[in-house]
């Protein structure tokens, strides 16, 4: 279903933890959706928070941490499954790139189910990364 004509995009949007939990659940992304204080910290401490809205409903989010100079880590890109395949994620990434500029690398860790999506919107696969996983 084509729903892109109904979508508005906002930078520095006032998102509540409950709304973020809802879009995470509706997108299929695994996040601590029942830990609202933790989600609120994720909102409060993000350097960049971009939102896609269908009327009053949050249907997409891009959340990033950056120094605005050398690198930017895209920690969340989530779009409600009912709105996927309409270019919303790509539009959020374009806005993020505009925000950080051409001299800043955009980096992310993809879930296994999203590995085929990111090359489609312009990301290159890299294999020189390491992680110390979170405990919870």
Per-residue pLDDT, 26 = 97
Per-residue pLDDT, 123 = 86
Per-residue pLDDT, 103 = 95
CB atoms within 10 A of CB 132: 5
Model pTM above 0.75: yes
Q: CA-CA-CA-CA torsion for 48, 8, 54, 3, nearest 10 degrees?
A: -120
Per-residue pLDDT, 2 = 47
Per-residue pLDDT, 1 = 41
Phi, psi of 49 (to 5 degrees): -135, 110
Where the chain has pLDDT below 70, the residues are 1-5
pLDDT tens-digit profile of 60-69? Answer: 999 999 999 9
Q: Residues 87, 12, 74, CA angle at the centre, nearest 5°?
A: 55
């Amino acid at each position: 279903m084509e729903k892109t004509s109904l979508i508005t995009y906002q930078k520095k949007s006032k998102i509540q933890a409950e709304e973020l939990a809802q879009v995470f659940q509706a997108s299929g992304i695994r996040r601590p959706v029942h830990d609202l204080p933790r989600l609120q910290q994720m909102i409060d401490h993000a350097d960049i928070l971009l939102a896609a809205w269908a009327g009053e409903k949050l249907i997409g989010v891009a959340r990033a941490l950056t120094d605005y100079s050398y690198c930017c880590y895209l920690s969340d890109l989530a779009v409600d499954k009912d709105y996927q395949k309409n270019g919303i994620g790509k539009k959020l990434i374009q806005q993020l790139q505009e925000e950080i500029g051409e001299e800043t690398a955009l980096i992310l860790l993809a879930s296994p189910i999203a590995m085929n999506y990111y090359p489609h919107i312009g990301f290159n696969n890299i294999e020189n990364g390491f992680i110390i996983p979170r405990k919870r």
